[in-house]
Structure 1
Amino acid sequence: MTDGAGETPNTDVKLPRSSKGARSRFFDDPAIDQMMTFFLELMAETNALRERVDTIERLLDEKGSISRDEIEAYRPDADGEAERSAWSQAFLKRVMRFHEPD
């Protein structure tokens, strides 16, 4: 949805702070579900940290010195986004041991 000038209006979205209903179970042992949740959350955090390091490296290459505000405001160009996406996909394949069909 856009306003008359073709711009997307800035609207705040309020998400619930907690889930409702029972936690999904995928394994007979609830400890395995907890371990998998921990593992997937750790993978997401690792990926986020890797993107932040990538941001810092790119800004330092470009400017030589940077501020925290510049790190927070940075958005990669299309090539940078493609590199990050490729790294994330390779990370998932390594950690989850996904294999391409022969």
Structure 2
Amino acid sequence: MTEPLPPFPRRVKGARPRFHDEPAIDRLLAMLVALTSEVSVLADRVATLETLSGVGHGAVDAHVPDLAERERREARREALIARVFAALEVELEGEEPGDYWETIGRIERGEL
């Protein structure tokens, strides 16, 4: 029997890597990497659940949720978006929204 791997350290030692002169860009990249890793883990978990349930791969994509389930998903999605963008919202407080919110609205409506 093989020994379990030791846990990863909770804190990384040393300075954060810098890729761009603007620290906000580096923070955005860190957010993107974190979200990408979460999506990867979730995709693996969905595949595992499909396999274990015996419904086969792709069954989740074929599922059509009812109205109540769609509403629960929308609420969960909105909460996730609020958490992800909370750091940016703090920076935007007190500033004139300008074209930023109009662009976000166009993205939400599928115009971009």
Q: TM-score, normalised by structure 2?
A: 0.43
More helix by share: 2
Q: TM-score, normalised by structure 1?
A: 0.47
